[in-house]
A and B are shown apart, each in its own frame.
Chain A
Amino acid sequence: MPKLNMVQAINLALKEEMERDGSVIVMGEDVGRDGGVFRVTEGLMEKFGTERVMDTPLSESGIVGTAIGMAAYGLRPVAEIQFMGFIYPALDQIFSHAARLRSRSRGRYTCPLVVRTPYGAGIRAPEIHSESTEALFCHMPGIKVVVPSTPSTAKGLLKSAIRDPDPVVFLESTRVYRQIKEDVTDEEYTIPLGKARIAKEGKEVTLVAWGSMLHRCLKAAEGMDAEVIDLMTLSPFDEETLYRSARKTGRVVVVHEAPKTCGVGAEISASLAEEAMLYLKAPIMRVTGYDAVIPLPKLEDYYMPDVNRIKRSIDEVMKY
């Protein structure tokens, strides 16, 4: 089995889906001739032609807006926004139209659209290139939010996202892109949306994370009887797996690199309080980015939760 990094695994998922279904098209800034700024779409234009791999004008709202029209017409567009920090001009399209088209038309029109975008800090990038604002999208009914943490799950999740009948925002951690390689089969498989994955089983404490933070949680959990949940789909998130684990361990630490206030961790904590409060032996802890603008590279290592911060929170809930 070939060892692939996440860039290659996502590329493979796109290739397989484009081979499988002629209605799948890829569009975005520099995705064609250049293969994308992270090379995720490398080789696709050569293989599938400029009609299916479209280099678009520099126009985020235009990219998502036209993709909505294509999706409603019957195509399955996979639109790339070059960095998550550049997605904001397209929020109106995502929130006011992609998320609502099925509802507004009572199911006559649907929007099977995937918006892929690299997110997160940790690659020494300029300002606005390190955003992690997944919570914005999770708050909006009508869209799904998916964040893979590994190459093999990225492939299976992206294939499901492309086949999903509703719009999916698919966030790819720039830090993970080339950080790990693992076996990724080129055989057919998908990973269902809305289901979490137990990345490591344990009994004493539950760590919940997604994307790049999953790897720091696994590191922090080394030598401990900790359960690590890779949430994978943030909206709708897998409540059952989460509650089951919390009821078993009685201790939960949620880790994300986005700021704490109104982050996805808040939703997870509140849900646990509603559904598993009587099983808990300690307060639910959140280890997150700070309520501050994500700093430029000199301070970004202080901003992102690291293994020590996660360990300190684990210690706290264990000693409580």
Chain B
Amino acid sequence: MPEKTIESCNITRLDILSETGEADEALMPPLSEEQIRKIYALLVLCRTFDHRALNLQREGRIGTYASILGQEASQVGSAFALEKSDWAFPSFREMGVYIAIGYPPYMLFQYWSGDERGLRTPDDLNIFPVSIPVGTHIPHASGAAMAAKYRKDKVAAVAYFGDGGTSEGDFHEALNFAGVFKAPAVFICQNNQWAISLPRERQTAAKTLAQKAVAYGFEGIQVDGNDVFAVYKATKNALDKAKNGEGPTLIECYTYRMSDHTTADDASRYRKKEEIEEWKARDPILRLELFMERKGILSDEYKKKVEDEAKQKVDDAVKTAESVEHPHPEDMITFTYEKPTPRQKKEMRDF
């Protein structure tokens, strides 16, 4: 009997917007001029927020912070495709996702300053609080997707994680469940090339991260993560597919962590400056600006207006975050259970 190929794996890569701002019109998603302006404003807001957070950390006004610099398109482009009823499960480097779905920025500053109240998601949003242990939140998205399917809700659940997260067992268990139960889940991997000091090629011997989906019986796609149109389109397609009962998708956003892992890290210990310089040319915001200039929808005046508005929003957010009254010590106990235990009631007398 001759040997034969019984399964093969083809991974698609999607690029729409070039580094010089030229878009492949045939692939361009149907976004209105107004939507593109909105995406641009969100990208600028995210970068302004991020820049301010780094400064606040240096000034000792917030604690350790994980920068999203360079990854704005992966976060905004994907989150922009979500509907209000969809559920998002982010990790700790996803401030752009929170901001893009309308999470109040002041609460994010509040959180990074060490106040849990910043993670109390407003009632009209469905986004989980920041998950710190890498990859462990991915099964929650599979579970929420399974629940949505059980309830027959037209809802998808989206998990965000990095290249490092794909080495964790929970990543594999989560994708396996989503595949087996054909859950309406979308897994968005921001491959930013570095997991603290470990480069992507040491994370896995696989050529792409997208191909990991193949083993779980569903589609994986790689997109240029610094191309907001490609990220948006891939996410929108995956969400539509999920809600039509066609199962999950893994999207690998090929991007780059321009900053240190966190403010407690020094990336110059393990990676070369030249690499960062190379990626500067692929900046997601610069690229969109070049596109908008070509289309004649980005004047200097408009650009300044967007930047001023972002600065104002971030200023206001910092002001609000810093004027929130100090949490009551009792709060650390109050939210352990629905009702405090008899022992906790005694402990609360300390305050």
B120 at the interface (CB under 8 A from A): yes
B174 at the interface (CB under 8 A from A): yes
A14 at the interface (CB under 8 A from B): no
Contact at B176–A96, with CB atoms within 8 Å?
no
Chain B min CB distance to A296 (Å): 28
Contact at B343–A102, with CB atoms within 8 Å?
no
Contact at A106–B139, with CB atoms within 8 Å?
no
| Among A25, A97, A106, A239, contact of B137 (Cβ-Cβ < 8 Å) | A97
* Set of chain A residues within 8 Å of B137, measured between Cβ atoms: 97
The secondary-structure label for the interface of chain B is helix
* Set of chain A residues within 8 Å of B331, measured between Cβ atoms: 106
B151 at the interface (CB under 8 A from A): yes
Which residue of the partner chain A has the closest CB to B142? A66
Chain B min CB distance to A273 (Å): 15
A75 to B170, CA, bound (A): 21
* Set of chain A residues within 8 Å of B139, measured between Cβ atoms: 61-62, 64-66, 68-69, 93
Among residues 36 to 67 in chain B, which have CB atoms less than 8 Å away from a CB atom of chain A?
A: none
Contact at A108–B121, with CB atoms within 8 Å?
yes
- A interface list, Cβ under 8 A from B: 25, 51-52, 54, 56-57, 59, 61-62, 64-75, 77, 89, 92-93, 96-97, 101-110, 141-142, 144, 165-166, 194, 236, 239-240
Contact at B150–A62, with CB atoms within 8 Å?
no
B146 at the interface (CB under 8 A from A): yes
* Set of chain B residues within 8 Å of A144, measured between Cβ atoms: 337
Q: What are 24 A-to-B residue pairs whose CB atoms are below 8 Å?
A: A56-B177, A57-B177, A61-B169, A62-B142, A65-B138, A65-B142, A66-B140, A66-B146, A70-B143, A70-B150, A73-B144, A73-B151, A74-B151, A92-B133, A97-B131, A102-B335, A102-B337, A103-B116, A110-B338, A142-B336, A144-B337, A166-B338, A194-B341, A194-B342
Chain B residues with a Cβ closer than 8 Å to the other chain, count: 45
A93 to B170, CA, bound (A): 9
Chain B min CB distance to A242 (Å): 11
Chain B min CB distance to A306 (Å): 32
* Set of chain B residues within 8 Å of A239, measured between Cβ atoms: 342-343
A50 to B128, CA, bound (A): 28
Question: Interface digits, B119-149 against A, CB 8 Å rule (1 contact, 0 not)?
Answer: 1110100001101010011111111111110
Contact at A65–B140, with CB atoms within 8 Å?
yes
Contact at B120–A108, with CB atoms within 8 Å?
yes
B314 at the interface (CB under 8 A from A): no
Contact at A103–B335, with CB atoms within 8 Å?
yes
Contact at A72–B336, with CB atoms within 8 Å?
no
B260 at the interface (CB under 8 A from A): no
Contact at A106–B140, with CB atoms within 8 Å?
no
Contact at A62–B174, with CB atoms within 8 Å?
yes
| Among B121, B157, B177, B336, contact of A109 (Cβ-Cβ < 8 Å) | B121
B117 at the interface (CB under 8 A from A): yes
Which residue of the partner chain B has the closest CB to A109? B128
Contact at A65–B174, with CB atoms within 8 Å?
yes
Q: Which 5 A-B pairs have the closest CB atoms?
A: A69-B143, A65-B139, A62-B173, A66-B143, A236-B341
| Among A69, A142, A240, contact of B146 (Cβ-Cβ < 8 Å) | A69
Which residue of the partner chain A has the closest CB to B128? A109
Which residue of the partner chain A has the closest CB to B125? A108
A25 to B117, CA, bound (A): 31
Contact at A102–B336, with CB atoms within 8 Å?
yes
